[in-house]
Amino acid sequence: MNNASKQSSDIEQPAKSTFSMSLFWLGSAQVLGRIVRLASSIILARLLTPEVFGQVAIILACFELICTPTRRITSAALIKMDDDSLFASLPNANRTNWIAAITAFVAMSLLSWPLAFFNQDSTLIAPMILMATSYLLLPFGMLYAAINLRANNMRRVGRAILWQTITDGILTAILALSGLGIWAIILPKVLVIFVWIAIHRYHNPLFQAQSLTKPDQAKPRSAWTITQMLRFGSQVGLSDFSITLRQNIDYLLVGYFLGIEALGIYFFAFNTSLGISLGIIQSYGTALYSHLCDKSNQAWDSMEVELQKRYVHSLKLILKITVPVIALQSILAPIYLPFVYGSHWIEAGALPVFVLLCLSGLVRPIGEATSQLLISIGESRLNLSFNLGFTLLLAITISVCSQWGLTAIALGILVIHLIAMPAFNLYIHHFILSSRKGAKQDQLKGFNREVHHDA
């Protein structure tokens, strides 16, 4: 083995180990949290009607669609910055977070009225406005979460996810048993934001650098303006929004075509079938972006090669985890679904929908990996174009299949995912990454010629 290969191997192993540990902390937090949530979901499934599940699906879908563009409005930029730019940009990042949070609160509050009118259900208004207040809490922890992500402190990030989920599950179960109905689901989701904030702020390095974040001590040449933050964050946010729209468009369309009761059945089947696997996939996406943006110990001429290695390795790792989980769920579904959640869900037709949606999770990690890769290499527009195109295709599929009911919709969703996700991954892998690698090699050759010429 020559020195270059040995050096590359020495760099690659710690990078793989770091990503594996990051995925372990985030994934284990999601799994443990989902176990607690499983207990609360069993209680909810036995106490609440499909209509209430349908109302919750509408509220949570709207919340996610509005929240997603703001979630990484500044963190995506902060993670990529060097230290000087980071500390100089923190005050503007904080202001940007507040602008995004207030805008999101106003948008969801106003949206509650037309949704209530459209669904002829005025009881949607108050829960939606209460859910919107959680946006106003997020800026108190967003900078601290970005610092933990930038430092690859996934143990802290995973802990925040775990205790947030555990608290949510316990409070939901208690309030549901107390007979609070829809409030048993909405109220805990607002309260657990305080848990997330507290864990991210605890012993955060940002506290030790408060003097560096004052505007009068910031370096103006390296600080990002609010406009720059919004421009960069909006590109990432739109890409994330397109993913969230893709993941929630089915709720909106099922409710539109088949009604709130059918939406409640679909919402139940989706969350019980894909709850654990989607939690792992989301953790994977969070860890992967930080992993791909980490350029430490990478030689300038090997960055593209290292990026591709990290991407391929991470994708193989997540598939090794999710495929067995999904296969086991699908096989055992006819046994544990009626036993755990109640036979009335089988009578409502949830079983085939459950199995088909569960199988669609086999290729969902591929789409998540590809999206995070494109964002990390500055191809947010291409990522946005793909996700919007896929969302349009998904909407057409659901609209057509809705004529034959929920099972046909679930089958259409499975087929579209099986075709589109691998095809998009192959396109990015063989065209985008290969062209970037070739361009980098040509750039390096030109640089070497200049060096020899000067010598």
Q: Which letter, b or e, does each residue of 260-294 get, where b requires 16 or more Cβ atoms within 10 Å of its Cβ?
A: bebbbbbbbbbbbbbbbbbbbbbbbbbbbbbbbbb
The angle subtended at Cα 88 by Cα 84 and Cα 91, nearest 5°, is 150
Please state the pTM of the whole predicted model.
Answer: 0.69
Query: Pseudo-torsion of CA 64, 70, 72, 75, nearest 10°?
Result: -150
Residue 5 lies in a domain: no
Residue 3 lies in a domain: no
Q: How far apart are CA 93 and CA 166, in angstroms?
A: 30
Residue 9 lies in a domain: no
Residue 191 lies in a domain: yes
Residue 449 lies in a domain: no
The predicted structure's pLDDT at residue 125: 92
pLDDT digits (tens, 9 = 90+) for 335-389: 878 877 778 788 888 899 999 999 998 888 888 888 888 877 777 788 888 888 8
Residue 182 lies in a domain: yes
Domain that holds residue 192: 17-444
pLDDT in tens, the chain (455 residues): 454 444 444 445 555 566 666 656 565 655 666 666 666 667 777 777 778 888 888 898 899 889 888 888 888 888 878 777 888 888 899 999 999 999 999 999 999 999 888 877 788 899 999 999 999 999 999 999 988 888 878 778 888 888 888 898 889 889 988 888 889 999 999 999 999 999 999 888 775 555 434 444 444 457 788 888 888 888 778 877 877 887 788 888 888 888 888 888 888 888 888 776 776 776 666 677 667 776 554 443 456 677 777 777 778 877 887 888 888 888 888 887 887 777 878 888 889 999 999 999 888 888 888 888 887 777 778 888 888 888 899 999 999 999 999 999 999 999 999 999 999 888 887 777 666 655 555 554 553 454 344 54
Q: Number of structural domains, the chain?
A: 1
Q: How far apart are CA 183 and CA 55, in angstroms?
A: 11
Q: How far apart are CA 335 and CA 341, in angstroms?
A: 11
Chain-centroid distance, C-alpha 2 = 41
Residue 8 lies in a domain: no
Residues in the chain: 455
Residue 333 lies in a domain: yes
Q: Residue 287: CB partners within 8 Å, gap ≥ 6?
A: 19, 22, 23, 26, 154
pLDDT digits (tens, 9 = 90+) for 208-243: 555 434 444 444 457 788 888 888 888 778 877 877
Q: Residue 201: CB partners within 8 Å, gap ≥ 6?
A: 140, 141, 144, 207
The predicted structure's pLDDT at residue 143: 92
pLDDT digits (tens, 9 = 90+) for 401-423: 999 999 999 999 999 999 999 99
